[in-house]
Structure 1
Amino acid sequence: MKELLHELKTLNRLILRLVNHLSPEIDKSLLDRYMAFRAFSYNHALILKPVSEPDPVRIHELKGIEHLLEQLKDNTEQFLRGLPHNNVLLYGPRGVGKSSAVKCMLNEYQQEGLRLIEVDKDALMHLPEIKELIRGRTERYILFCDDLSFDLDDSSYRQLKATLEGSIEARPQNLVVYATSNRRHLMPECVEEDLQELHPSETMEEKVSLSDRFGLRLGFTVFNQDTYLSIVRNYVKLRGLQIEEDALERAAIEWSISHGSFSGRTARQFVDHIEGRMKLKDHD
């Protein structure tokens, strides 16, 4: 039985080597023609897919997080100018603008050479390849890890730690990491106490050491009703919708109650709903 297991493991290694050998090379000319990319893993190979229509969100659309956007803008401008800057962790509840804040940096600064590569979690093992792909290029790349979190038995975070800081190889000067997460420390705060947490102090150190590698940590909080309504009014104004103020406020509050949230995402969905209904009536 042991000999059979050994043979199977050897065969598996050979198959993986063959798959990697047969994997198509990335067309580097894509980096000249596109502003945004998605990196993911397929058959243990890195796939870099260009995004022809990036999310068009702009800074002026995002309300309630202005002080956080200013810090992110400053850091991004420092990065673009080759000045000291930090990797950034944006953490907090869902729907409050973390991902949109990163995406709008691309739309704000793409004319200054900013590019964005969104890296799926399963592609973290390919970070060394991504780094070599962009090393030495004139563009400046945000490596975007969206909705990032790790379980304690997940080892993929180690490649991210090495990219952030701690590897013998320096990170490319034209690369910065921006990550969003619902967790401040990216790893779970607790596990099954009796069985899995054999070395709690080591586990906590591992959690903190990962988030510590992000020099700038921006904490997003839950919006209150006033902020939610200001976001609704801003979307309505930007879209040029003519709605009576009191009626808009009542409908927006009813929508938030039915959705159980005062988030910016809820506000945008509400305005999408009323805009669609208004234009449908006009169409009829």
Structure 2
Amino acid sequence: MRSPELSAFQLLQKAASLLVYQSVFDFEQEAGQAFLALLQAIHTAQAKVGAEVLNCLHAYGRWLRCLVEAEQSWQDLLLTCVLRDENPFTQQAQQKEFQELSPALVLAARHDLQVLQELSEYGEVQLRNWVEAIAPVSFPAIAWEPSSDSAVTPVKLQLERTNWAEGIEVFAAHYHQYGTGIAARYAALRWHQGELMGIAHADPVELGDLVGYDTQQEALLKNTEFLLKGYSALHVLLYGSRGSGKSSLVKALLNRYSQDGMRLIEVAKSNLRDLPAIVDQLRPLPQKFIIFVDDLSFEEDEDDYKALKVVLEGNLTARSQNVVVYATSNRRHLIREFFGDRPRPKDGDEIHAWDTVQEKLSFSDRFGLTLTFEPPDQATYLQIVHHLAAQTNISLSSDDLEFQALQWATRHNGRSGRTARQFVDFLRADLATV
């Protein structure tokens, strides 16, 4: 049952009374900020005229644009923000059962959820009516489709017969299963300047796009499923020739398993020193994480690999069961070596020179699973070309397609999955412009 109608100023007071969910309306949430700005503009314009009316119209337009961009009603958009909000209640709820949560924290969260539901009820109709009463304008009544957010729909269904405060266990269960914050919002992330950043447009490559290396793909899928089921999955090194699809295979896992709670975090080689800190940050979260290090190798004078060794082998801290490292490399032995590195009797600089050599040689052995990607032979290369051509609806005879594909490989980068993709992309554009 909807509460008695409030004024714009009373709604502002409600929003100001939030205890743990304040960040739903902070500067990072444009829709929340736009909503508060609109309430403030309505409150001011109801008492004044002229420029204040114009400010009110601008504020309404900004707020409505947020809804249009999100393709959600105000209630759905605010509920989305609540489900993603990172605060003391949501952080504890994702780590503990509801019965284990602090009673004081639960009480504060109940208060906030009640306030937020009241604010959600003042949506497009009420705000439009207020603005139209202030200014001689008429705005269209927009009908919203059901929310496309997969997280919002099940929560809405469970709250149909109760209010948000009484349904606090529904929210707690959601946080416990799906987490909150940036890892709940994005499936693909990268570590940048000491923090996780979401990747809004991840590579759309699918496992079905990849041909060849079936054995390697099967092993990687099996290991990833071990991770998702809570078993001790292995760290994986994907080693082999350039353009063989190592990186694409790892990225394709995201599109297969993101709905099962898998997250892919891209970490540059220059940030490997941060790996222990990254793992500690991920440890309490409910999702499963693959730390993806692409094109991994080290020069002889680099020692960043030591931070990676800590994650691969562990230290006094117990290994995190929800994090594994998948790395790709064109080198089997990841640390560059020279013949001059091998100890000779006349060398007097290092007493235990062979120990240094063995440390370099054994680093790649610390990955529990090594998958080798050899250059494709001609038959495999042509199989990849045919597969990609069929996906893009290229209508050429088989003989003509293979002739051009082999010519392309000879003139460019040799036979590889990458070369096949480049050839098909070029051929598709070339045929479309003829």
Query: Do these two structures clear the TM 0.5 threshold for a shared fold by scoring above it?
Result: yes
> What code does the residue aligned with 1:140 have?
K
> What code does the residue aligned with 2:421 have?
R
2:325 is equivalent to residue 177 of structure 1: yes
Report what 1:268 is aligned to: 421
**TM-score under structure 1 length normalisation:** 0.83
Q: Deviations over 1:156-180 (max 9, x none)?
A: 1101000111311122211011011
Q: Deviations over 1:175-212 (max 9, x none)?
A: 01101111112112325448999554122221233212
Report what 2:226 is aligned to: 78
Return closer, same or farther for 1:167/1:191 CA change in 2, 3 Å cut-off. farther
Return closer, same or farther for 1:35/1:246 CA change in 2, 3 Å cut-off. same
User: Counterpart of 1:172 in 2: which secondary structure?
Assistant: coil
Of the three residues 35, 50, 58, the one matched with 2:187 is 35
2:431 is equivalent to residue 278 of structure 1: yes
> What code does the residue aligned with 2:420 have?
A
Report what 1:134 is aligned to: 282
Q: Percent identity?
A: 44
Matches within 5 A, 1:94-109: 94-109=242-257
Report what 2:258 is aligned to: 110
Of the three residues 374, 396, 406, the one matched with 1:253 is 406
| Structure 1 position 50, deviation (Å) | 1.4
Of the three residues 209, 234, 249, the one matched with 2:362 is 209
User: Counterpart of 1:74 in 2: which secondary structure?
Assistant: helix
Q: Deviations over 1:88-131 (max 9, x none)?
A: 00001110011111111111111101000010011111112211
Report what 1:57 is aligned to: 205
Tell me how many residue pairs correspond in the alignment: 251
| Structure 1 position 29, deviation (Å) | 2.1
Report what 1:186 is aligned to: 334
The separation in 1 between residues aligned to 2:236 and 2:312, in whole angstroms, is 10
Return closer, same or farther for 1:197/1:256 CA change in 2, 3 Å cut-off. farther
Of the three residues 47, 66, 89, the one matched with 2:214 is 66
Cα RMSD after superposing both structures: 2.0
Gaps of 5+ in 1: 1-26
The separation in 2 between residues aligned to 1:196 and 1:112, in whole angstroms, is 56
Structure 1 moving runs of 4+ over 6 Å = 194-197
Contact 2:231 2:321 in 1 (8 A): no
Contact 1:131 1:171 in 2 (8 A): no
Structure (1 or 2) with the greater strand fraction: 1
The separation in 2 between residues aligned to 1:203 and 1:182, in whole angstroms, is 22
Contact 1:185 1:208 in 2 (8 A): yes
**TM-score under structure 2 length normalisation:** 0.55
> What code does the residue aligned with 1:111 have?
Q
Report what 2:272 is aligned to: 124
User: Counterpart of 1:144 in 2: which secondary structure?
Assistant: strand
Return closer, same or farther for 1:226/1:255 CA change in 2, 3 Å cut-off. same
Contact 1:92 1:183 in 2 (8 A): yes
Return closer, same or farther for 1:191/1:154 CA change in 2, 3 Å cut-off. farther
Contact 1:191 1:197 in 2 (8 A): no
The separation in 2 between residues aligned to 1:55 and 1:191, in whole angstroms, is 40
Contact 2:385 2:405 in 1 (8 A): yes
> What code does the residue aligned with 1:77 have?
E
The separation in 2 between residues aligned to 1:163 and 1:254, in whole angstroms, is 45
Report what 1:227 is aligned to: 380
Asked which structure has the greater CA Rg, the reply is 2
Contact 1:91 1:218 in 2 (8 A): yes
* Higher relative contact order, structure no. (Cα contacts within 8 Å, ≥ 6 residues apart): 1
The separation in 2 between residues aligned to 1:107 and 1:182, in whole angstroms, is 24
